[in-house]
Amino acid sequence: MSDSVLNDELVARYLADNPGFFESRPDALAAVRLPQAHGGRAISLQERQLEVMREKHRMIERKLADLVRIGRENDAIGDKLQRWTRALLLAELPQRLPGEVVDGLRDIFSVPQVVLRLWRVREGFEAPEWVRPVPDDLIASIDALQLPYCGTNGDARVAGWLSASGADTRSMALMALRRGAEPKAFGFLALGSGDADRFQAGMGTAFLERIAETASAALSRIAGR
């Protein structure tokens, strides 16, 4: 270790062990000059400390602004979830529930592309727009889905059921629909968007999980065993 490094460490240790040094030696404090990060001129230690405090204050303000923004966004999503849930609860005819689920996601949540597929429904609820053939291997993939999938590389068959056969889809969310804690799904919801960042991989899925749970609870009225 060089003498300069050793001396630097000794000085730093001494100042840490004697926090009142500059109080007893104000002349030494006034003589300390530091190069400014921008502009090149030397500034006093007090000015540098003031700059550091101002930067910390700006960082705290930015973090606070981010927290306020996130809080408002969460409130808005929570309000939409409540309105959608209310519409599902008010649906008197069970056969109208699939349409209420899809229309609510499009209108309330402003999701441009929504696909709903059901493969285990009670007799008399086999509406052709919702109950269409789904390959067995895709059903097995949905059964294995424990959390909503988000990303750009979803199953091509699912993407093909979105509007324009998925040509305008840049991101997708895929959710299994289950009756309570049953391991087997009775259908799925797929949400698509032309915005590549709307359903990006690695995003939080808490609200998508609530959407899947709410849709599952509503549609379980027509789900078969």
CA distance 129 to 162: 13
- Predicted confidence (pLDDT) per residue in 79-121, tens digit: 999 999 999 999 888 888 999 999 999 999 999 899 999 987 7
Confidence of residue 1 (pLDDT cuts 50, 70, 90): very low
Q: What is the pLDDT of residue 4?
A: 55
**Percent of the chain at pLDDT above 90?**
32
Q: What is the pLDDT of residue 40?
A: 57
- Predicted confidence (pLDDT) per residue in 27-59, tens digit: 666 666 656 555 556 666 667 677 778 888 888
- Predicted confidence (pLDDT) per residue in 117-160, tens digit: 998 777 776 667 777 888 999 999 999 999 999 988 677 788 88
Contact (CB, 8 A) for 98 and 121: no
Domain annotation for the chain: domains and CATH numbers: 3-59 (no CATH), 91-219 (3.30.450.40)
CA distance 126 to 109: 26
CA distance 211 to 20: 59
Cα 50–Cα 55–Cα 60 angle in degrees, nearest 5: 125
In the structure encoding, which two tokens stand for residue 155, read together?
A: 């199953």
Q: Three-class SS of residue 40?
A: coil
Closest CA to 97 of 122, 77, 73, 75: 122
